[in-house]
Copies of this chain bind each other. A is one copy, B any other.
Amino acid sequence: MKIVECVPNFSEGRRMDVVERILEAIRSVVGVKILDSSSDASHNRTVVTFVGEPQGVKEAAFRAAQMAAELIDMENHHGEHPRIGATDVIPLIPISGVTMDECVELARELGQEIGEKLSIPVFLYEEAAVKPKRKNLANVRRGEYEGLKEAIKEPERHPDFGPSQMHPTAGATAVGARPPLVAYNINLNTNDLEIAKAIAKTIRGSSGGFSSIKALGVLIEETNTAQVTINVCNFREVSLARVFETVMSEAERFGVTITGSEIVGLVPMEALLDAATFYLRLDGFQPDQVLEKRL
């Protein structure tokens, strides 16, 4: 079965009746399942996670964007998180039986539909980006809703789909495709924050480490222990095992070790099967050997 995940962000985190109607729009598509919805009042933003087959996910994302455009007025929106529209971003994520290319194609179809049918300017970002600069979502969001009202008229800020002017209430939307992200924390047997910071610096792409890894060193107050907190942005490029082994090796250089690790939230089965395959040195293992995959 082909499974795509979609994690749209909506610019409403306070009026729960509005959030509920957006969730209803998603649920109205048969076969689509909402896994999570979390609203943040200070960000005034709601992040929804849902999954389903590609066409169902596209339809659900469209209906949600349509509903958000009806119910959210960006002229009255205030919140701490950067945003450009009522439906701020819609990332599509290949989970199972689907390639990244298929998700890119799906994102472009979805973007075109939102642009043309809802008259909302759509920017393609990350893997779905047509303009290289838009791979980085921050470039798309520059100026936010308020600034983009003028900037969108400049040719280089023209949207990929829809009109080159902001929707009067819904603003604009960024639609993209990206690999599944795994939030992964590794705990050290030290309270020396500097060690966690040094290890984080070693592994993260922005300072010369793995390009698909983001990492910070933090001190966990409850346990008074240092932690390397990591976003594995593409576990197919850098597996959890490689992250773990690299952190282990760097920790040893400081005379400390790993007491444990934790996965925050959901993780695709493949990321954990990869780790089992690596450590058990499994040859020729096929994911469909997993009994549950046959059901």
Q: How far is the CA of A263 from the CA of B287 in the complex (A)?
A: 11
In this complex, how many residues of chain A approach chain B with their Cβ under 8 Å: the count is: 42
| Majority SS at the chain A contact face | mixed
> Is the beta-carbon distance between B241 and A258 smaller than 8 angstroms?
no
> Is the beta-carbon distance between A289 and B265 smaller than 8 angstroms?
yes
Give chain B nearest CB distance to A34 CB in angstroms: 10
Q: If A262-B285, A272-B273 touch, does A244 touch B280 (CB 8 Å cutoff)? A: yes
Q: Kindly report how many copies of this chain are found in the complex they form together.
A: 2
> Is the beta-carbon distance between A261 and B283 smaller than 8 angstroms?
yes
Q: How far is the CA of A184 from the CA of B248 in the complex (A)?
A: 28
Q: C-beta contact mask, A277-292 vs B, less than 8 Å → 1, else 0?
A: 0111111110001111
Which residues in window 233-288 of A have CB below 8 A to B?
240-241, 244, 258-263, 265-269, 272-273, 275-276, 278-285
Among B259, B279, B291, B292, the residue within 8 A (CB) of A241 is B279
With A261-B281, A266-B290, A268-B290 given, name 15 new contacts (CB 8 A).
A3-B295, A51-B295, A187-B283, A244-B281, A261-B283, A262-B284, A263-B289, A268-B291, A269-B292, A269-B293, A275-B276, A276-B276, A276-B279, A278-B279, A279-B279
